[in-house]
Amino acid sequence: MSPRLSWRNGVRALISLLFLFGFSAQAAIYSAPAHDSRLLGFPMVHQVVEGQSLDHVAQQYDMGLLAMMAANPGVDPFLPPTGSSVTLPSQMLLPDVERKGVVINLAELRLYYFDNARGRVYVYPIGIGRVGRETPLVTTKVSQRIKDPTWTPTARTRKEWLEERGIELPKVVPAGPDNPMGHRALRLAYGRGEYLIHGTNHKFGIGMRVSAGCIRMRPTDIEELFELVRVGEPVRIINEPIKISQESSGLYLEVHEPLSQDEELDKSAKTLELTADQRQSLSEPGLNESKIQTLLREQRGLPMTVN
């Protein structure tokens, strides 16, 4: 089902659609912006067909479920009205870090891969560590590429599965359809090597806090990333819920819901902290203070101009 594009985006949004998404669920592939720009993509919408949930739409465009829900507050994620238009989180600001290798921003549940040789940026939705099993903030590198990995669950994981699911896991789970690591994995040179970027044998959970600390990707996404990444490739994991960028068309602000030790909390109850540089940027004369406060409160994960 092709999305219905708003008239104001015109032809260039249609070109963006064809270039970024094609006609199947694949990673968004962007031409890298100029060094003085961090803005990727265009605003887009999708017309809901009968029986579609927001998770169906997220899977169709290879986006995360929570990102879809944040971009469409008030929309029933299970039964969005047939024929209605939902906003796609198809535009974003690059994280404010070096554009090299793999960059994972936990707050936005996205992985960026910078293919600088070809001037491309690949963007993938990811699942990350749940509360109590948080994905660490590190600067590291890929230490191993593994096809058809086995899974060696930790003693803690085996205990959790037994207590919570009544399943006694073996010490080693062989490769295959029952392996929750999927068919590809990239091991990180951190700790004892227990953190990986890997696939999954579950359709649900991408774009959510669901793992035991590893980075989880859809099977087609990890297979694509696996062919792009080499051993020694730098990996940086950050937590940046607020992104600001001065673009030729104005000052953009993008706000994501911050991670919390209590995911049951309402957005307004979660701590959202601005850095000194961010406070300075948002206090410049000529900015729309009301719009800034709205974006900080709503946390929709969409870049918006504030001047």
Q: What is the mean pLDDT of residues 274-281?
A: 95
The answer, yes or no, to whether residue 15 has pLDDT greater than 50, is no
Amino acid occupying residue 2: S
b/e burial code for range 23-50 (CB count within 10 A of at least 16 → b)? eeebbbbbebbeeebbbbbbbbbbbbee
Residue with structure tokens 């293919």? 115
Dihedral angle over CA of 238, 242, 246, 249, nearest 10: 120
Residue 25 phi/psi, 5-degree rounding, is -75, 100
Q: What percent of the chain has pLDDT over 90?
A: 68
Confidence class for position 43, pLDDT limits 50, 70, 90: very high
CA distance 47 to 17: 14
Cα angle 197, 28, 196 (rounded to 5 degrees) comes to 0
Superfamily assignment of 101-149+178-238 in CATH?
L,D-transpeptidase catalytic domain-like (2.40.440.10)
Any idea which residues carry the catalytic annotation? 198, 214
Q: Is the pLDDT of residue 134 over 70?
A: yes
* Residues of each domain in the chain carrying CATH 3.10.350.10: 7-93
Q: List pLDDT tens digits, range 154-203.
A: 888 888 888 888 888 888 888 888 888 999 999 999 988 889 999 998 87
Res. 11: pLDDT tops 50: no
Higher model confidence: residue 192 or residue 219? 219
CATH number of 7-93: 3.10.350.10
> How far are the Cα atoms of 173, 209, 289 from residue 151, in angstroms, in the given order?
5, 20, 50
Range(s) within the chain of domains with CATH label 2.40.440.10? 101-149+178-238
Q: Among all chains, which residue has been given the structure tokens 């008030």?
A: 74
At 16, the pLDDT band (50, 70, 90 cuts) reads very low
